[in-house]
Amino acid sequence: MKLTVGVDVGGTSVRAGVVDADGTILDTARTPTPRSDGALEAALARVVGELAERYPVGAVGLALAGFITPDRRGVRFAPHLSWRDAPVADRIADLVGLPVVVEHDANAAALAERHFGAAAGAATVVFIAIGTGIGSALLLDGQVYRGAFGVAPELGHLPVVPEGRPCPCGKNGCWERYCSGTALAATAVELLARNGRRSPVLRRLVRSDPGLVTGQRVAAAAREGDTVACEAMDELARWLGTGLALVADVFDPELVVIGGGVSESAPLFLDEAREHYARMVTGAGRRPLFRIRTAQLGDSAAVVGAARLAREALTE
């Protein structure tokens, strides 16, 4: 069977890979993400064409953060990209001369983990990608659940704090405003304002400039035992546990897979989050708890998942 190309279309870069039937990435290409429709589509055609020149490619899968139409051909809205109600699959197919499917990046990553990673063999899975915000996916009997209009589930925008931190989605108090890399940095800044003298490591890393605080720097400081950074991690763990309890109450999954960039720091927060979830869930102590695993495929998951979807489209 021919190889397929998976493309992770991010807000800052486009990453493409040629993937075989076993989920192995054989070769990659990348380019910065342009800001206009035409330039973005030309960039996608360029990286796909570069790979197609070197390998017998049969189809292309695009993974991106946004609202995808149920037929997986159009993009209604993507917050970090220029497309609005755009027939993306047809446009790219015309440029590259190959079949194209489009998928939400969390769905693509979840499918990759289901076939090749942490969710192998699990029937009911919730995938939670914790990065700048929260992306999420639901697999039922190994299949993606998209909802009636193709946008489910948006777990990151469940309100958990009434009148809480403002969210770019327009609401306040969304889960991702308290449980994400961005949230980790915001919490650390708040704690620094109150207890800066107890944070020698984090203050050194950011040179006492709150504008330089990032989730990665907070995690690095927490690994060195910085008090404020550890408190910020504790807050992240608490809010992750709170959200996981909501996930259990709504979906009752067999397994939750935690992915995204923040998952690389899982040893700093996951055990505490698991304990908090076990206390918070409805019927605590009288019901089975879902398993929690960290993702295995890292930042290649969306590429592998998109390529897998493209392969499935060839056989439909």
**Is the confidence at residue 122, as pLDDT, over 70?**
yes
- Rounded-to-integer distance, Cα 222 and Cα 206, Å: 14
Q: Which of 263, 247, 243 is nearest to 255 (CA)?
A: 247
What are φ and ψ of residue 58, in 5° steps?
Answer: -105, -25
- Rounded-to-integer distance, Cα 28 and Cα 34, Å: 19
3-state secondary structure (DSSP) of residue 314: helix
Beta strands in the chain (DSSP E): 3-9, 13-19, 25-32, 57-64, 67-68, 75-77, 84-86, 100-104, 124-130, 134-140, 143-144, 255-259, 291-294
3-state secondary structure 62-126: EEECCEECCCCCCEEECCCCCCEEECHHHHHHHHHCCCEEEEEHHHHHHHHHHHHCCCCCCCEEE
Tell me 267's DSSP state: G
pTM: 0.93
Place of tokens 């207890």: 195
Condensed to tens digits (0 to 9), the pLDDT of residues 17-29 reads 999 999 999 999 9
Condensed to tens digits (0 to 9), the pLDDT of residues 190-233 reads 999 988 788 999 999 998 888 999 999 999 999 999 999 999 99
Q: Which of 260, 295, 306 is nearest to 18 (CA)?
A: 306
> Is the separation of the CB atoms in 184 and 171 below 8 Å?
no
- Rounded-to-integer distance, Cα 8 and Cα 298, Å: 13
Place of tokens 């790219």: 92
User: Average pLDDT of the chain?
Assistant: 95
pLDDT at 301: 96
The 10 Å CB-count burial string (b at 16+, else e) for 143-153 is ebebeeebbbb
In the chain, % of residues over pLDDT 70 = 99
3-state secondary structure (DSSP) of residue 226: coil
